[in-house]
Every structure is written in C-alpha cells, then in structure tokens.
Chains A and B, each alone.
Chain A
C-alpha cells in the first residue's frame, strides 16, 4: 500500500509535465492564429484565389498587385532543385558512414558532417553571392549568376548534412540481430544494407527527407541573397526569382505597418506555413502506413 502510494503520487514538476509538453502545440497554433489574423485583411482585400494565383507581385505599384503565384513557383523550383540531389547524396553518405566506413573513419566523418550542417544559412547565402554566382555566370553564360539554380545548389548543399545526419542515426539504431540474421541467411554486406538495414530504418530515413525538404523550403537568407529576387513568374531555374521566404524577409522592412503590403506579407507567411503543415501531415500519414 505504502509503495503504491509512493508510486502514484506526483510531485509538482510531474504534474506540470503534461501542460509543458503541450506548449509546442500552443506555439504551433499561436503561430497559425497570428498569421491568419494578421494576414486576413490582405486575403479579404485581394481575394484568396486572386492572392494565391495572381501572376503579379507589385506591392509598391499604384495600383498595387498582390498575386503571389510567382513567389510560390519560385519556392517550389528552388526546393525541388535542391532536394533532387540532396536526398540521394545525403542518404548515400549516411549509409556509407554508418555501415561501411571503419570505426575510425566513422568517428571522424560524423562530427565533420555535423559541423558542416551547422554552418549558418547567411554564410551559405554569402558563399552563393561571392563564389557560386560568378562561376554560374561564366560556365552557363547567363546574364546573372544570382538565380534559382544558385539557390538550389546551396540549399541542396545545406540539406545534405541534415539529411545524412538524421539518416545515419536511424541506420545506426537498427538492431544488430537483424543484421546478423541477414548474414546468417547468406547475404553479403551490400545485400544486408539494401534489403535489411535500409528497410528497417525506413521511417527514420523518411523523417530525414521531410526535414531536408522543410529546411530547403523554409530557408530564407540563402534564397534572399542567392536567388536574385526578380518578381516575375520564373520561366526556368536559370532566371532570378523571389521565393516566398525571401519576399517576406526582404520587404518587411519597407512595408508600412498596417498597410495591405504588411498584411500581405503575413498572408504569404500563412501560405508557407500551410504548405509545410500539409507536407508534414502527409508525411506522418505515409509513415504510419509504412510502419503497419
């Protein structure tokens, strides 16, 4: 009886754990609410469909145009350009590090990856301006090296260590028994990796991909500095463009508080937020299906 009582009674911190844990949800909802409330006047004034699918973003013109389609297209171009090579390369690097490299090599590579993953985005953006841009301009003969490709390259580079590091954790967490069982059945190392380890680490790898995509899509400073900032609907990855994040960061300083422009920037934030949440929910759903 005494033991049971002792086990059941919760101290103050224990009772607070639940409410504290729910703070993440509170912040998430708070962010959503803030964006909706502050963005609403823009949606109302411009019209939701006209706002999202409008082809012109000219907030300072007279009359101003608040169509964010060019910004949405730009965001998707740079994100998918980045992910196209960040995911295969990141996952491959992680598999090599976790499964094939000798313990000595692994102990060196993992920290190196993590150190590189931590390089601030503004430094990557800076690198895009001073290093990648002149090369792109010269090699591809473009009028400017600050364009979607530049941003995609850097975003990809930025996402690789993130994807690799999380993937590696997932792979390392696969039980040794599974591997031994595979070897015992006559599989070699490569077969064990491809048919046993990777499938077992699937949900972790998937998490890595999600985080890679959300990092690329939400990256602000890099695209603000490297993507060029043109306002039109981008015709290809080789032209300057202005993704959603860059628009908010670049124009908030000049937007008069309370103006339609100000509200419109929050509305863009809401669109970004909604895209991200939808993406995460879809990922959760797929992951849940995969684990059955």
Chain B
C-alpha cells in the first residue's frame, strides 16, 4: 500500500518538475524575443512619421523617407507570390490527391525538403546565374522576385499540403460517392474546405519573401535609386537590403537612426502580414464544423 503511495508521489513529482521545465523554456523564448521587439521599436519609433513612409531618402541616406524601399519590397513579394502560389498549390494537390506512384511521391518529397533546406544565399547565386545572366533579365524586380519565388515554393507546397490533408476522408468519399469526378471533388470539396489553411500558408510566405535579403542582394536590390520602378526590369530598393546597406555602407551617424526606423517599418509590415494570416486561420477554425 505504502509502496504504491510513494510511487504515485514520485510520479506526480516527476510530472510537476517536467511541466515547470517546459514552462521555463517557453518563457525564455518569449522573453528574449520580446526584448528584441521592444528594443528595436523603442529605438526606432523616433524617426517614424508620415514623411518617413512617403518620402525619398535625402542627404545621402541620412534623412528623408524610405518610400522606394517599401514599394520595392511589396513589388518583389508580389512577383514571388504570383510565381510560387499557383505552382505550389497545384503541386500539393497532385501530391495529396493524384499521385499514384509511392516512389515518385517519395522522390518529390525529398526534392521539396532539399529545396527547403537550400540556403537563401544559394537562391541568390541561382538567380544571378540563371535569371540575371542566362535569361538576360538583368538585375531587376523580375529577377529578384523570381529568385524569392523559388525560395518560397517549398513553403507554399508544404503548407498547402498540410491544409489539404486536414479535410476528412469522409468528405471526399461522400463527394465521389455522389458521382462527382476527382477534379470536381478537389475543386468543390477539398480546396474550399482547406482554403483557410492554404491562404495562411500563402500569406506567411509573403512575409517570408518580404523579409529576405540574401536572394535579392545580387539579383535586383539596389542601395539607392531616385526613380520608382516603372517595369519588371527596373532595379528596386528593398527594406531588408536597405537596413543592411545602411549598416555597412556610408558613415553618416544619422544612418543608424534611419536603420532603426527601417527595421521598425519592415517588422511592422511583416507582423501585419502575419497577423492577417493568423486571423484568417482562427476565424476559419471557429467556423469549422468537424
């Protein structure tokens, strides 16, 4: 009797100890990331005013706004998404609904995982050699956006695949049982029921594309241009590259303040994009009937 009691006490002690350890880990993460956010926001909020968003840089990057960089980042992400989303979602559909050969799926999956593991700078090298040089797009919005597009492709595939897999098999069986074709089932049942998950993945990859620097370093980003991009072949300024350039090029002391401000804008942009994604997902989960 007593032995069982002790054993139970020991097990409960183990459990509480385990829970506290896990909790500490989580707290450590939240605190360090909280420090990062607060530190940069506090230091950068000073230069943020309406002009900062809508004006061009002035006096050799030491004053003025960062409008061209904001616009450039949005355009680069847009090109990337237009490239990667159709391809990524359809790849996921094929993987989940159409693939018949286990071997092929396996090879493809290894390929996608490997592509996801490719360092971001390698996408830059690929973009430089292929889009800029081989295809002759030059350093441009198009080359940079496509490089980013290849980079986010695995993310789009993976998140779409996960979303498709959350649709219960019974839905599919019911649809096929009612005489719908496979495509009708995909189009009318599976995609609509997983759209929130797919959308979440897409929006998260927009955030990723907006924040990436390495792939655009040599494929289309430029430190400074007085002109706004007027075609896919223009070089563009971009927020992340702007931060890097401000920290490494030039010596004006005010550049640091602008760098803080740019970091705040970039983070706000990314945080807003991601908040939208998360909001969609939460709403969709609430609406879900199964």
Contacts and interface: CB of A to CB of B under 8 A. Distances in A.
Contacts of A45: none
B254 interface: no
B132 to A, nearest CB: 10
Interface residues of A, number: 94
A214 B114 CA distance: 9
Contacts of A114: 204, 274, 278
B174 interface: no
B40 interface: yes
A248 B130 CA distance: 17
A18 B217 CA distance: 33
A7 B98 CA distance: 12
A225 B183 contact: no
Interface string A15-57: 0111011111101101100110110000000000000000000
The 8 closest A-B pairs by CB, nearest first: A218-B119, A120-B211, A214-B117, A190-B15, A92-B25, A96-B22, A220-B214, A17-B94
A9 to B, nearest CB: 8
Interface string A162-174: 0010000100000
Contacts of A249: 121, 124, 214, 217
Interface in B90-110: 90-91, 93-95, 98-99, 107-108, 110
A272 interface: yes
B171 interface: no
Contacts, number: 273
Given A92-B21, A131-B39, A189-B15, A28 B211 contact: no
Interface stretch (B56-64, B228-236, B265-273): B265-273
Nearest to B282: A107
Nearest to A91: B25
Interface residues of B, number: 90
A259 B208 CA distance: 33
A127 B274 contact: no
A120 B270 contact: yes
A221 interface: yes
A122 B213 contact: yes
A201 interface: no
Nearest to B21: A92
Interface string B34-74: 01110110010000000000000000000000000000000
A187 to B, nearest CB: 9
B251 interface: no
Contacts of A97: 26
Interface string A274-292: 0011011101100000000
Contact of B157 (A24, A92, A109): A24
A126 B259 contact: yes
Given A89-B28, A120-B211, A23 B87 contact: yes
B263 A273 contact: no
Contact of A17 (B25, B93, B256): B93
B12 interface: yes
Interface of B: 11-12, 14-15, 18-19, 21-23, 25-26, 28-30, 32-33, 35-37, 39-40, 43, 87, 90-91, 93-95, 98-99, 107-108, 110-126, 128-130, 150, 153-154, 157, 162, 179, 181-183, 204, 207-208, 210-214, 217-218, 240-241, 243-244, 247-248, 256, 259-260, 263, 266-267, 270-271, 273-275, 278, 282
Most A CB contacts (10 A, CB to CB) among B21, B36, B121 go to: B121
B39 A245 contact: no
A42 to B, nearest CB: 13
A224 B110 CA distance: 29
Contact residues of A: prevailing secondary structure: helix
Given A115-B275, A220-B213, A253-B218, A34 B153 contact: no
A266 interface: yes
A22 B108 contact: yes
A284 B110 contact: yes
Contacts of B130: 30, 34
Contacts of B87: 20, 23
Contacts of B108: 21-22, 24-25
Contacts of B208: 118
Interface in A102-130: 107, 109, 111-116, 118-127, 129-130
A100 interface: yes
B267 A123 contact: yes
Given A16-B90, A252-B218, A253-B217, 7 more contacts: A21-B94, A25-B107, A93-B29, A122-B213, A130-B39, A214-B118, A252-B128
A31 B263 contact: no
Contacts of B90: 13, 16-17, 20-21
Contacts of A13: 90, 183
Contacts of A23: 87, 91, 153
B290 to A, nearest CB: 14
A14 B183 contact: yes
B119 A100 contact: no
A115 B162 contact: no
B119 to A, nearest CB: 3
